[in-house]
A and B are shown apart, each in its own frame.
Chain A
């Protein structure tokens, strides 16, 4: 991971900025320049919904580099209320609390750190709505 790679994604990761096709209305996260649905290039940036529901999820027990101290943690596909789908960690929950369809809302969390001296990567996670 490098600083510029993270830095250029910050608006998307901090504020859930996606894009919406002006032709067919489909929304995407992250933003893209060509609509997969209708092929047009007329997409504009939109702020995506911060609430949604879990489509499917997993609990990670074997972590990749950088996530060792967080295991076990939950990863899920979330469908936002505006229909956009994204991948997110689900935080502040026990896996037993989750079901397909569980309502969740966006929170701002640490994703991981580049060791003790490197930068801290922040971004969205979701947590169950009580």
Chain B
């Protein structure tokens, strides 16, 4: 297998882009990456997206995007794995380059959620669950995660106040990120006084609905210097699945797929959790982030929220997490999120992270979750010495 590097990135601000269609949104991010690498033709396009069928009645998304960014007939395909669509698209892209099949690959993620009304987005999100035996009876995606929060708090006795410190941290980070959807600070009091979406999860514990697109350009590591002075190696990756239905799990307080995907990725990269300098984790909800911090091996079970409250995930702490705001504050354009995470880690490792730059960051990690832990991808990135 060949080693693979990221040679360019592109992204849009995450926002309610009322004036941009899904193709325009993606084009903006893709052209940014193509221009950075100074490339106008590629070998293949993999695009993470979950809702184009539901929200735009548009499938066959790969070819639409390839056409509109001016590519000449490359294979192009949409990759869908709910919230992990972006992470899975990246995995496909890496496999294509590592195998020797393709040299220049664009991995994109795009989601345009604001074309439909709130109950439709609630229904669309529920497509990530077991449609006939969870969504059918009115279980929303937020409600499933809320059940995880209740089970977790019941088992570990962790307070709402402590769990609320994660969204507060993410907003703090986003306040210095110009492309974040919600670049403002919030307090624990504000989190705890916001209305319930699905008890016990409150509005300010849930990632917002927004539009966005992000792009990575991949090539074999040995050819990366032809395109950039600062290639970032994809040093490890893992993906794993669990039951799609939450109720089929024996333990509701951990995502087994995160543990398994991380183990594979750490092994491939020859690192331990302690070696990670920066991490972008999947905090679609406060509790999802807390559990992920534990399942990735950064903190013991039941201890992550306390660690967050002590500043251990801030830049300069044990591991700098969600330095661009995470899903909560950068935003969560669902199928694009996994690609945004990779873009952000690449920026950190290049030393290009602006006001939230982590000094000397060498190793970064992304964790992208689909459904309530049904699919998890973990990627590990390394700055070349």
- Which residues of A are interface residues toward B (Cβ below 8 A)? 1, 5, 9, 28-30, 36, 55-68, 70, 73, 75-77, 85-89, 95, 100, 111-112, 121, 123, 125
Contact = CB atoms under 8 A, between A and B. Distances in A.
B122 A56 contact: no
A70 to B, nearest CB: 7
A29 B137 CA distance: 14
A60 B252 contact: no
A8 to B, nearest CB: 9
Given A30-B133, A62-B197, A89-B137, 7 more contacts: A5-B132, A55-B252, A58-B199, A60-B143, A65-B120, A75-B147, A87-B246
B140 interface: yes
Judged by DSSP, the binding face of B is helix
Given A58-B146, A60-B138, A77-B147, A87 B119 contact: no
Interface string B299-330: 00000000000000000000000000000000
27 contacts: A5-B132, A55-B151, A55-B247, A56-B154, A57-B150, A58-B147, A58-B150, A60-B142, A61-B195, A62-B140, A62-B142, A62-B197, A63-B122, A63-B140, A64-B119, A64-B123, A64-B138, A68-B119, A75-B138, A75-B139, A75-B140, A75-B147, A77-B247, A85-B247, A86-B133, A87-B134, A89-B138
A56 B252 contact: yes
Interface of B: 118-120, 122-123, 126, 130, 132-140, 142-144, 146-148, 150-151, 154, 195-201, 243, 245-248, 252
A60 B147 CA distance: 11
Contacts of A65: 119-120, 122-123
Contacts of B201: 58
A3 to B, nearest CB: 14
Contacts of B195: 61
Contacts of B142: 58, 60, 62
A111 B138 contact: yes
Contacts of A85: 247-248
Contacts of B243: 36
A64 B122 contact: yes
Nearest to B152: A56
Contacts of B197: 61-62
B119 A75 contact: no
B138 A61 contact: no
A125 B126 CA distance: 19
Contacts of A75: 137-140, 143, 147, 198
Contacts of A89: 137-138
Closest 5 pairs (CB-CB, A-B) = A58-B146, A59-B199, A64-B123, A58-B143, A56-B151
B246 A77 contact: yes
Nearest to B201: A58
Nearest to A5: B132
